[in-house]
């Protein structure tokens, strides 16, 4: 019997005695108690920032046996929260030594390493919880969904609003027709809250040149500034494994404060900008409610970018074809605290729209969420009158227990419950059916942003065949590099994806 099979059988047998039951509207979910799930051996990869809460929440329901982070300080600090976990700076070392001793991984690293880390675990039959956006590029999202389904493992993406009853009920109400036929969708965010915009990178050569210019009349002071910066970098690299942080991305110099630890989101090589950061949250309810799969066209306007750093602001328009229950629909995205035209809100009596939210327009009224997660939502007719919900509409509730009052924790509980039951479909945001397709839809917007580098000017339209993962007008585009945002090419010796597997 294989290790993979014996571990799964052990988990099923050892947890079934401690399992309780929770009945939600229209479904029954067997709920695994935390004490029963302690047999699930978990590794946390990327344990600072959001990764800190991710692995600590996973530790409520599983046994954290290994931690990995490229930053020694972060790693040592997090290790104190668990009982003698094995610690690593390189996830490949963790896998080499611990793969046969773990059942699941929690991946909370920068976007550009999500796929290589998660894919290796999925191939080994391990369950995976990976932060949003699931991947940095469209093809990677399809690939992780493929691997999860092929290996029959339980997966969940970190768009924790998926476990809110309010979000699930809103989706069910809209699908039941509470606002009528869908006519338009608008989504907006206050992101970025990190630096974006052209000409932001720095190297030692550029810094030295700048110091010579700034202190042209005092060469000695210029040399002192350069020496101080070199020491700052050397001190930082005593704790940081920069090669591991770069991973499969193109090599570049470490520079304090512009990549590690939080600023990576604004770089094309490492992150996915405002859209990647927040759309998996803010577009989550509209995506589920309106079946926003398989867009056919997308175009964007931006404040300008240099193909290195994301623009400080972007607006994106997606076109979705009709499906078997709704007509074709346009979806608009606005970031950097921009919003749809004020008349849209005025029509429904919304006097103070928030800096982040969504509104779905129907023939009977609208569904308005004033937050990123649809924790709250309002159903309004024209003029602002309240629309009553349709009685008897059911939705699947996420499991809950005494420790999962926070919806982020509840998202972990749903994942662990699926593991205990060996039922991947119990996870709302599982890779093959939801998280992967949602990420694909969202990241298509970044192709349009890439093709809109000139400030204030609408860029080239991207025509898209979602089923084939192809830009159908690629040969006509003047913008270079679009294809690499569909199927990236890994560098630095990291295993390349065999894209033929997806055919």
Which uninterrupted H or E stretch holds 380? strand 378-380
Q: In this structure, are residues 68 and 90 in contact, taking their beta carbons and an 8 Å threshold?
A: yes
Q: Does residue 373 share a domain with residue 341?
A: yes
**CA distance readout (Å), 99 to 35, 53, 467, 502, 503:** 23, 23, 33, 25, 29
3-state DSSP assignment of residue 211: helix
Determine if the peptide bond prior to 133 is cis (ω within 30°). Answer: yes
Domain shared by 16 and 63, yes or no: yes
* Residue 146 and residue 132 in one domain: yes
The predicted pLDDT at position 17 comes to 25
What was the pLDDT predicted at 38? 63
Q: Looking at the structure, tell me whether residues 364 and 418 fall in a common domain.
A: no
The model's pTM is 0.92
Task: Compute the chain's Rg from CA coordinates.
Answer: 23
Q: At 451, is the secondary structure helix, strand, or coil? A: coil
Are 184 and 212 in the same domain?
no
- On whether residue 237 sits in a domain, the answer given is yes
> How high is the pLDDT of residue 30?
46
- 124, 151: one domain: yes
- Peptide bond just before 192 cis, omega within 30 deg: yes
User: Per the domain annotation, does 301 fall within a domain?
Assistant: yes
Tell me if 104 sits within 8 A of 11, measured CB to CB: no
Count how many domains the chain has. 3
Whether the CB-CB separation of 439 and 184 falls below 8 Å is answered with: no
DSSP code for 203: -
From the list 16, 14, 66, 71, the residue with the least C-alpha distance to 42 is 66
pLDDT < 50: residue spans in the chain: 1-36
Residues 214 and 318 in one domain: no
Query: 45 forms bridges with which residues in the sheet?
Result: 68, 107
> Do 341 and 315 touch, CB atoms closer than 8 A?
no
Angle at 335 between CA 333 and CA 340, to 5 degrees: 55
Shared domain check, 406 and 382: no
Is residue 337, in this structure, part of any structural domain at all? Answer: yes
Which residue, 54, 71, 78, is CA-closest to 128? 54
Cα–Cα distance between 370 and 353 in angstroms, integer? Answer: 7
pLDDT of residue 403: 95
Which pLDDT belongs to residue 503? 81
Beta bridge partners of 60: none
Q: How far is CA 96 from CA 102, 118, 125, 155, in A?
A: 11, 14, 15, 22
- Give the pLDDT score at 37: 54
Residue 334, Ramachandran bin (φ over 0: left; ψ between -120 and 50: alpha; else beta) = beta
Domain boundaries, position 132: 3-163+397-434
Is 103 inside any structural domain?
yes
| Within a domain: 264 | no
For 347-362, give the DSSP string: HTT--S--SSEEEEEE
- Do 159 and 174 lie in a common domain? no
- Asked whether residue 263 is domain-assigned, the answer is no
Beta bridge partner(s), residue 304: none
The gap between the terminal CA atoms of the chain, to the nearest Å, is: 32
Measure the CA–CA gap between 487 and 379, rounded to whole angstroms.
40
Reported residue count of the chain is: 503
Phi/psi of residue 344, each to 5°?
-65, -45
CATH number at residue 406: 3.40.50.720
Tokens linked to 13: 């047998």
Domain boundary residue, one of 434, 457, 487: 434
> 115 and 79: one domain?
yes
Task: Establish whether the linkage from the previous residue to 469 is cis, with ω within 30° of 0.
Answer: no
Same domain, 350 and 455: yes
- Between the alpha carbon of residue 247 and those of residues 30, 70, 134, 203, the distances in Å are 39, 11, 17, 19
Contacts of 234 (CB under 8 A, 6+ apart): none
Provide CB contacts within 8 A for 16, sequence distance 6+: none
**Same structural domain, 65 and 208:** no
Q: Is 209 inside a domain boundary?
A: yes
Are 170 and 369 in contact by the 8 Å Cβ rule? The answer is: yes
Instruction: State the pLDDT at residue 474.
Output: 97
Q: 3-state DSSP helix/strand/coil percent for the chain, to nearest 5?
A: 40, 20, 40
Residue 265 lies in a domain: no
């Amino acid at each position: 019997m294989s290790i993979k099979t014996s571990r799964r059988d052990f988990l099923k047998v050892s947890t079934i005695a401690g399992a309780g039951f929770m009945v939600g509207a229209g479904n029954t979910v067997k709920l695994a108690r935390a004490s029963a799930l302690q047999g699930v051996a978990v590794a946390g990869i990327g344990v600072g920032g959001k990764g800190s809460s991710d692995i600590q929440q996973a530790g409520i329901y599983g046994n954290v046996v290994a931690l990995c982070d490229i930053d020694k300080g972060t790693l040592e600090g997090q290790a104190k929260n668990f009982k003698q976990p094995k610690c690593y700076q390189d996830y490949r070392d963790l896998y080499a030594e611990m793969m046969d001793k773990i059942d699941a991984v929690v991946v909370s690293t920068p976007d550009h390493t999500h796929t290589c880390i998660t894919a290796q675990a999925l191939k080994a039959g391990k369950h995976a919880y990976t932060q949003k956006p699931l991947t940095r590029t469209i093809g990677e999202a399809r690939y992780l969904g493929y691997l999860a389904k092929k290996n029959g493992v339980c997966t969940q993406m970190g768009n924790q609003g998926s476990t809110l009853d309010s979000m699930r009920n809103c989706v069910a109400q809209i699908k039941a027709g509470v606002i009528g036929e869908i006519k338009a969708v608008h989504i907006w965010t206050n992101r970025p809250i990190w630096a974006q915009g052209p000409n932001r990178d720095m190297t030692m050569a550029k810094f030295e040149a700048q110091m010579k210019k700034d202190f042209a009349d005092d060469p000695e002071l210029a040399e002192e500034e350069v020496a101080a910066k070199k020491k700052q970098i050397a001190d930082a690299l005593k704790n940081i494994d920069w090669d591991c942080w770069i991973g499969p991305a193109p090599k570049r110099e470490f520079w304090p404060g512009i990549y590690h630890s939080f600023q990576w989101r604004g770089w094309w090589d490492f992150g996915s900008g405002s859209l990647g950061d927040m759309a998996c949250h803010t577009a989550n309810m509209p995506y589920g409610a309106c079946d926003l799969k398989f867009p056919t066209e997308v175009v964007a306007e931006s404040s300008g970018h240099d193909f290195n750093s994301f623009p400080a602001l972007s607006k994106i328009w997606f076109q979705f074809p009709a499906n078997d229950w709704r007509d074709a629909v346009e979806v608009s995205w606005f970031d950097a605290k921009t919003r749809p035209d004020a008349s849209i809100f005025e029509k429904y009596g919304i006097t103070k729209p928030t800096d982040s939210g969504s509104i779905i327009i129907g023939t009977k009224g609208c569904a308005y969420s004033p937050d990123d997660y649809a924790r709250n939502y309002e159903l309004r007719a024209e003029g602002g009158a309240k629309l009553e919900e349709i009685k008897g509409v059911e939705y699947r509730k996420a499991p809950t227990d005494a420790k999962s009052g926070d919806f982020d924790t509840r998202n972990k509980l749903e994942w662990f419950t699926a593991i205990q039951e060996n039922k991947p479909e119990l996870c709302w945001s599982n890779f093959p059916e939801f998280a992967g397709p949602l990420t694909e839809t969202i990241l298509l917007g970044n192709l349009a942003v890439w093709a809109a580098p000139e400030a204030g000017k609408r860029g080239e339209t991207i025509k898209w065949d979602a089923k084939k993962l192809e830009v159908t007008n690629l040969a006509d585009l003047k913008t270079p590099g679009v294809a690499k945002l569909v199927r990236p090419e890994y560098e630095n010796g990291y295993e390349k994806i065999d894209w033929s597997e997806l055919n």
